[in-house]
């Protein structure tokens, strides 16, 4: 697969992720919140705080997707190893870390406020573990991209 084709494929994946975020955040989670509030009136007071928390966390994911889209566009322009892409990857790492910490605090707070179904707790903790994995991967890729950019700059100066 050529670099241009890879870039197009990666950007298409990011666009599909954006569509998935819009679908989940705009339709599925609000419908689940309304249904849960209707079935469990004693938990109805948690509907809006949980929705706002979810939408804020989703905004962080969308921001990370925007930076990933820019990285993938640079790959298509044959500018894979640049300090700018390393900075974007570091920012994605910071966004993932912040989102992961927010999910962890949210999970603990929600567990303290109301009894949770064990499957719901498992899903929220899986999100936290996934966030840690994304944080570590983006951080490592940022470091490697910066090293490769430095080597490329050094090589360009050598005649």
**Looking at residues 103-127, what average pLDDT do you find?**
85
**Residue 69 scores a pLDDT above 90:** yes
95 vs 109: CA distance, rounded Å: 21
Q: 103-134: string of b/e by CB count within 10 Å (b at 16+)?
A: bbebbeebeeeeebeeeeeeebeebbeebeeb
Percent of the chain with pLDDT over 90: 70
Calculate the CA dihedral of residues 79, 8, 21, 52 and round it to 10 degrees: 20
**Looking at residues 88-117, what average pLDDT do you find?**
90
Number of structural domains (the chain) is: 1
63 vs 55: CA distance, rounded Å: 12
125 vs 118: CA distance, rounded Å: 10
**Residue 137 scores a pLDDT above 80:** yes
Q: Which domain holds residue 13?
A: 3-157
pLDDT-based confidence at residue 112 (cuts at 50, 70, 90): confident
pLDDT-based confidence at residue 113 (cuts at 50, 70, 90): confident
- What local confidence, expressed as pLDDT, does residue 28 receive? 95
**Looking at residues 47-51, what average pLDDT do you find?**
91
97 vs 80: CA distance, rounded Å: 24
- pTM for this predicted structure: 0.88
């Amino acid at each position: 697969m050529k670099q241009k084709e890879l870039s197009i494929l990666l950007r298409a994946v990011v666009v599909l992720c954006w569509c998935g975020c819009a679908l989940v955040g705009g339709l599925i989670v609000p419908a689940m919140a309304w249904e849960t509030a209707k079935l469990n009136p004693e938990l109805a007071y948690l509907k809006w705080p949980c929705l706002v928390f979810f939408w804020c966390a989703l905004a962080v994911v969308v921001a990370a997707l925007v930076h990933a889209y820019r990285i993938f566009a640079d790959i298509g322009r044959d500018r894979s190893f640049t300090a700018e892409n390393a900075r974007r990857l570091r920012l994605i790492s910071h966004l993932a870390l912040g989102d992961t910490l927010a999910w962890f605090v949210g999970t603990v707070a929600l567990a303290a406020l109301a009894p949770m179904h064990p499957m719901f707790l498992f899903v929220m903790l899986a999100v936290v573990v996934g966030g840690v994995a994304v944080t570590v991967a983006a951080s490592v890729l940022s470091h490697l991209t910066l090293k490769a950019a430095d080597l490329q700059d050094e090589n360009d100066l050598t005649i």
